[in-house]
Amino acid sequence: MEPEQDNWGSDVEKLRPLLVLLARQNVHPRLWKVVDPSGVVQDTLVEAHRGREKFQGNGTLALKGWIRSILLNNLRDAIRRAHREVRDVDREVSMAAAFGETTRRLESQLSGGGPSPSEIAMKNEDVVDLACALERLESAQRDAIEYHHLQGRSLSETASLLGRSESAAAALLHRGLKKLKEHLKKG
């Protein structure tokens, strides 16, 4: 294998935590069983490796932007497929709202609308470190932080999505933020 290919693979793989974070921010949590953000990221990375010759940019920022656009298109396609497959009338009402919110987020990301929390974070050079640190948290703590701080959801909505009381959600946020700070200090 040529050194350039080795660098390409490692450069692309370094973006995985960032892409997972971006995918989780753009898919409503109620849809995660139907549209697995990690699965869409994996498909995106495979597509990036296969389509390497299509990448015409230079540098890490261009690579991030190129792979991000692949991810957002893959998320949009996965949401469309999932929306077609959901036909249970009892599920359609709650799922319709989740599909609508997810679709609005993706359209905003793709159209270059106002900055989302994840876009703001992407401008920060430490976003990959943040994504890696979030991955090291317990899933409930990570979810609580993502819903409340990155997606801007209220404490009551965060608690509802987590299936917990507001006080339990607040405790998860407190412990999660404390551990997140520790992970970020360690690097």
Answer whether residue 130 is part of any domain.
Answer: no
Answer whether residue 153 is part of any domain.
Answer: yes
Is the same domain home to 90 and 143? no
Is the same domain home to 101 and 186? no
For residue 137, count other CB atoms closer than 10 A to its CB.
20
Structure tokens at 17: 């935590």
> Are the C-beta atoms of 102 and 72 separated by less than 8 Å?
no
pLDDT tens-digit readout, 4-17: 455 888 888 888 98
Answer whether residue 170 is part of any domain.
Answer: yes
Sort 114 into a burial class: Cβ within 10 Å, 0-12 / 13-18 / 19+. exposed
> Are the C-beta atoms of 76 and 109 separated by less than 8 Å?
no
Quick one: pLDDT band at residue 30, thresholds 50, 70, 90? Answer: confident
Is the same domain home to 185 and 147? yes
> Are the C-beta atoms of 151 and 29 separated by less than 8 Å?
no
Q: List the domain range (segments joined by +) for residue 187.
A: 136-187
Is the same domain home to 104 and 12? yes
Quick one: pLDDT band at residue 150, thresholds 50, 70, 90? Answer: confident
Is the same domain home to 73 and 34? yes
Structure tokens at 93: 């009402």
